[in-house]
Structure 1
Amino acid sequence: MGRQRKIQRMAAYRRRRAARVFRGLKRRLGWALLGIFLIFQILAQLFYPSYLTLPLARYNREPYGLKHRDDMVMMEQSKFVSTRLELTGSYGKEQVDLIKLGGRLDESANFNNLSYYPKKWRWVPFSILFWRPDVLTLPITFDDKPLLNYTLNYSKKHSKKATDASISIRDGNISIKDGKKGLSVDANKLRLAIKNKYIDTSGIVRLDVPEASIEPSASSADLLHVRQQAEDIISKHIVVSVAGRQEEFIPSKEQLASWLRVVEESGKVKLDVDSQVFGDFIDAMDKLVAKPAGQTIVSVVDDREVLRQEGVTGERVNRLDFEQKMSSILFRPGVYKYISIDLEPIMPEVKTSYSFSHTQAGLQAKLREIGRRYDTRISLQQLNGEGWGASYRGTESIPSASTYKLYIALRLFDEIKSGRLNWQSSVLGTTVDGCFHQMIVVSTNQCAEEWIRQFGRTALNSFLYERGISQATTFTAEGAIRTSSDDLLRTIIGINDGSLAGGYERDKLLDMMGRQIWRQGIPSGTQGWTANKVGFLWDYVHDTGIVHHPKGVYAISIMTKGANYGIIAKITRELEAQMYP
């Protein structure tokens, strides 16, 4: 019995010891697994991709984690293009696109905020969960010139002069009507208010216009001393006759009173004739004595007039002569006055019909007609088939917008060819390859501006001029890089045929141009497919590219001001219909 108990105690001891060892191993294994997990978690933080937003990033208070840089840039560019400023003033509300005010989007600023994760914090386990950046505004700055032009025009449009007190007749008696306050919009204050306004991401940015009231220069009290003069004027009996006609016109007292306005001259209040109201009287006369002009029909084929049918010349009251005579007698003594006025000729309206032959001359004429109609610059060259080419205002130098990035690409290729750079060289935290993709496919500015800084603006000019680009293209102009539609056409043709870019670089550029995201211009207007590069800055909208039409290949550059990509698409359709009927 004693031996059996001893054996049982030994067995129990071994079981307890085995349990303790197992628990120890289990604890050590748990700590080991935790350590391995923490190591992998820290490694994940250390190597978290710089091209993604942080997992818990937010955009306008909405989750926006794990978004690729290119996707965010495209989203913000779309927001920027569609964002409008809504100005609220005494007159009501008016909206305008930010891009037309000279707005520029910093495409990298918000992404940098949402992807910023300091290295020292990456060593702290789970610290990525505590970085929760949020952006609420678009990072936009304004170029001074277009913003100044807009605010000056806005001020001119919405500022109103004060209405001075005036004289009228009521129930046969002279009465004095009180003046009204005017309104002044300070263009400088408005410009500063726009520049300092936070641009949120809602699509509509609202701003109250800084306004000030203007007191009338002449009050009802000021008119008391001209009352007698007004009574003398409206008591006149005036007969107006038209040379060679039998009609006579006698203005009533009410009409005479309505012509009078109060003006201030050298600090004194006086009466004068209101040309606009007096013009209404002339319009009424013209309805009885004027003879409308006919219409001259002109037919033009390929910019050459082939037929003209002259219309009949009309006639109407000579306004300037009549107003001068009326002003003269109104302020001279005397009750009974007679005026004889002449009629002046009205030239017939010219209506021109255009037609175009299917020839080189017809294409040139059609392109000029389109250019005049849309106030744009166009250069075009067929690369096979008939080989026709045409240009309208093709040598004019205007802001290039993002089309200048084609010139940067040529200079970059030269650096790669010489061995000074390669596609994997570092630039702005990424590679030349990554930067090139952003510059061409997404059309962001950061990489292009960095390469301008590296290459030098004057050196870029020299590089381009040595390759046949004209001095209409310049990186050293004040305000913005400039180019012409002829230079863009020369460049795009040189890229396509290999004379300006060859081999892998040429193929890569044309491939990216075929995949770039802005497809509303030439690509939307053609029946073929396009490798193109767009540009938009302020109210300039451009597009240039190689078009592979089912009936032929051609190069085209369209540079517009105050138009849009819909107009560029329409121009493309019209020119294709002329080339490939």
Structure 2
Amino acid sequence: PATIAVKGNAYQVIDASATAASLSGMLASGQNAPVAVSTKDFSNVELYEGLPASGTIEEKLQQLFGDADYEVAVYDLKTGKSKIQIDADTAMASASTYKLFIAYSMIHAVETGQVTWDSALNGMTLSSCMATMIINSDNSCPEAWLARYGFSTVTQQAHDIGAANTNFVPYDMTTTANDLATVLKGFYSNSIASPDSTDQLFSLMETQVYREGIPAGIGSDGVVQDKVGFMDGLLHDAAIVRSDKGDYAMVIMTDGSSWNKIAQASLLIYESL
């Protein structure tokens, strides 16, 4: 395929190991304290190498992902208008992107007075559990939440906010790119949670440690608040992208691809907007 000119952006990314160590230290101390976020320099110049240049954005993404299974949903968050739809209603194993729906369930429970952020869950406060779940994709806290409230309850909560194709079943949790975009849009508009709660969640998403996908592709062109999922051959990234071109919900779900391809896809999508 044709390639485009190399430009690249130098920027900083989260140093996953150092930040995870800081988070572990905070949790071990038993105190709910700020976590030091370590960064390191990164350049996305290599993402431009071999990047498809001809065709529509849909054709470019097909060239990029090749034989891998993938789905994409992109929405303008100011207008609500759909910008890109590629198999976005096809159910796929959610991997850890399901934690966005657990985050909603936790926030809903707090805002309806069922629990507080200081309530105990899995030997921590609910606030600390939320942090570990989003920042380093810990599994024990969301599993404890599901054990307490039930798979059917969280499924119904997802359906209630419009994520009709998301289902929580033990060992078989599925969602779609459009459903992930739905929960992101709900948080962004504060239609499913208060501004204080969404500010807390977005802060965690902005500092989550797995940033080789959409954040690497956007680089210094914007701020990315995202939640990834990875399991076996599945690699997913569900993001709020705040950029000079506007604010967007961008969801890329793949099976049989790579983080580098997801980063390249987010770069292609950004440049098409």
TM-score of Structure 1 vs Structure 2, range by shorter chain: 0.7 to 0.9
Contact between 1:73 and 1:444, CA under 8 Å: does it hold in 2? no
What is the aligned counterpart of 1:355 among 37, 47, 55?
55
Matched, 1:490 2:190: no
**Residue equivalent to 2:92:** 398
Aligned letter for 1:482? T
Aligned length: 229
Contact between 1:525 and 1:572, CA under 8 Å: does it hold in 2? yes
Residue 428 of structure 1: how far off its partner (Å): 1.7
Contact between 1:371 and 1:378, CA under 8 Å: does it hold in 2? no
What is the aligned counterpart of 1:458 among 131, 137, 152?
152
Give the match's secondary structure for 1:452: helix
Residue 366 of structure 1: how far off its partner (Å): 5.0
**Residue equivalent to 1:428:** 122
Residue 355 of structure 1: how far off its partner (Å): 2.5
Residue 371 of structure 1: how far off its partner (Å): 5.9
Aligned letter for 2:160? E
Q: 1:388 to 1:72 in 2, by over 3 A?
A: closer
Using structure 1 for the length normalisation, give the TM-score.
0.37
Residue 480 of structure 1: how far off its partner (Å): 2.6
**Residue equivalent to 2:21:** 71
What is the aligned counterpart of 2:195 among 498, 503, 511?
503
| CA shift digits 1:247-298 (9 cap, x unpaired) | xxxxxxxxxxxxxxxxxxxxxxxxxxxxxxxxxxxxxxxxxxxxxxxxxxxx
What is the aligned counterpart of 2:143 among 435, 440, 449?
449
**Residue equivalent to 2:213:** 521
Distance 2:144 2:230 in 1: 19
**Residue equivalent to 1:575:** 269
Q: 1:403 to 1:578 in 2, by over 3 A?
A: same
Structure 1 runs not aligned, ≥5 long: 1-67, 75-110, 116-352, 357-362
Asked which structure has the greater RCO (Cα within 8 Å, sep 6+), the reply is 2
Distance 1:388 1:459 in 2: 29
Residue 467 of structure 1: how far off its partner (Å): 1.7
What is the aligned counterpart of 1:530 among 224, 227, 231?
224
Residue 479 of structure 1: how far off its partner (Å): 3.3
Give the match's secondary structure for 1:532: strand
Q: Any residues of structure 2 matched to 1:77-116 within 5 Å, and which?
A: none
Aligned letter for 1:71? A
Contact between 2:225 and 2:241, CA under 8 Å: does it hold in 1? yes
| CA shift digits 1:508-556 (9 cap, x unpaired) | 0011101111111100000211000001111101001110122221111
Q: Any residues of structure 2 matched to 1:532-547 within 5 Å, and which?
A: 532-547=226-241
**Residue equivalent to 2:50:** none
Residue 560 of structure 1: how far off its partner (Å): 0.7
Residue 387 of structure 1: how far off its partner (Å): 4.4
Q: CA RMSD in A?
A: 2.7
**Residue equivalent to 2:246:** 552
Residue 419 of structure 1: how far off its partner (Å): 1.2
State the percentage of identical aligned residues. 28
Q: 1:569 to 1:467 in 2, by over 3 A?
A: same
| CA shift digits 1:220-270 (9 cap, x unpaired) | xxxxxxxxxxxxxxxxxxxxxxxxxxxxxxxxxxxxxxxxxxxxxxxxxxx
Residue 383 of structure 1: how far off its partner (Å): 2.3
| CA shift digits 1:46-71 (9 cap, x unpaired) | xxxxxxxxxxxxxxxxxxxxxx9952
Contact between 1:364 and 1:389, CA under 8 Å: does it hold in 2? no
Q: 1:388 to 1:398 in 2, by over 3 A?
A: closer
Distance 2:82 2:180 in 1: 17
Residue 369 of structure 1: how far off its partner (Å): 5.9
| CA shift digits 1:334-363 (9 cap, x unpaired) | xxxxxxxxxxxxxxxxxxx9523xxxxxx5
State the structure with more CA Rg. 1
